[in-house]
Amino acid sequence: MDHVRKGITLTTCVLLLVTLAAAEIISEDQRTAVDQLNGLSATQFTDLASRAKNGNASAQALLGIAYMSGVKVAKDDATALEWFRRAASKGNEVAENNLGLIYFFGNGTKQNFVEAAKWFRKAADDGSKNAHFNLALMYHHGYGMAVNMDEAAKLYEVAAIEGDVGAQNTLGFLYEHGSGVAQDLATAEKWYTKAAERGQAMPQYNLGLFYMAQKKHQEAYEWFLRAAKQGHKMAEYNPAKLYLHGHCMEVNYEEAYRWLTASHQEDSWSAKAVETCKEHLSEKQMEQLQAVARVDGTP
């Protein structure tokens, strides 16, 4: 299962909000701009706009974010693009990274991966950890360039060392599978763990899968449980396997059925697993389990 790529998203720089629509990982930095903008009074926002018009690069970058996210003003990608251009011309890394995002998604302008990579690279050179990750993604998936896993891995590692959760999560996958780096399971575990300990469901789920592959079933169960408590549906699905096969616990058809009911999976394995549980449970037991089906952390 390609379990890590579902958690990959372009990452915004400090004070930014944009992500891929299907993103499952959200950086802490992405909340900063909206919080900051929402905290401004009308007078303070007017002052921000005035400082931006007078050439303050930080104010220009933040005003661009306001227009990009529709906070305090009507959402206007073209106006956001203009403010980011002004700030980027002064070397503002936030604006440079955002210009990369705008060109990547084609918001307010024509989509242009080459231009996106140019701005991500400039932002990375100016110290943006998020731009390192974004550029790594472009090398990883070949957006506007040839796929280059060696270069992607180098950039992911820079961003991971700087604390980017998405980079840490992805780097774990690369070391686990030897993509762009020499396979090293100990290093894979280190990076998965660093990401999972930040409290996000996707890295926790990925670490659970890593431990499942290593047959460390108790560790896998514990991380699946953490992710499941945050509503990660696939994390709810895997404990059922552990209970059905008796990994790290006694075979328990009631618990397996409870997890299967909570996860609402409709694949062929789940259907067969439900039938297996039904063979060992009474109708009354199943009714009771369906009535209270939830992921509450009770083994």
Q: What is the CA radius of gyration of the chain?
A: 23
Judge contact between 281 and 209, C-beta under 8 A: no
Q: Which positions of the chain have pLDDT values less than 70?
A: 1-31, 246-248, 291-299
Give the chain's count of helices (H) and strands (E).
16, 0
- What was the pLDDT predicted at 20? 24
Domains in the chain, start-ordered, CATH in brackets? 5-214 (1.25.40.10), 239-299 (no CATH)
The CB density around residue 253, as the number of other CB atoms within 10 Å, is 20
CA–CA–CA angle 226, 230, 236 (5° rounding): 70
Compute the residue count for the chain: 299
Q: How far apart are the C-alpha atoms of 3 and 170, rounded to whole Å? A: 10
Tokens 């992405």 -> residue: 30
Q: How far apart are the C-alpha atoms of 183 and 250, rounded to whole Å? A: 34
As given in the structure block, the two tokens for residue 2 are 């390609």
Q: Where are the alpha helices (DSSP H) in 54-128?
A: 57-69, 77-88, 93-105, 113-125
CA 18 to chain centre: 12
pLDDT of 82-118, one tens digit each? 999 999 999 999 999 999 999 999 988 999 999 999 9
- What was the pLDDT predicted at 91? 94
Question: With left for phi above 0 and alpha for psi between -120 and 50, is residue 200 left, alpha or beta?
Answer: beta
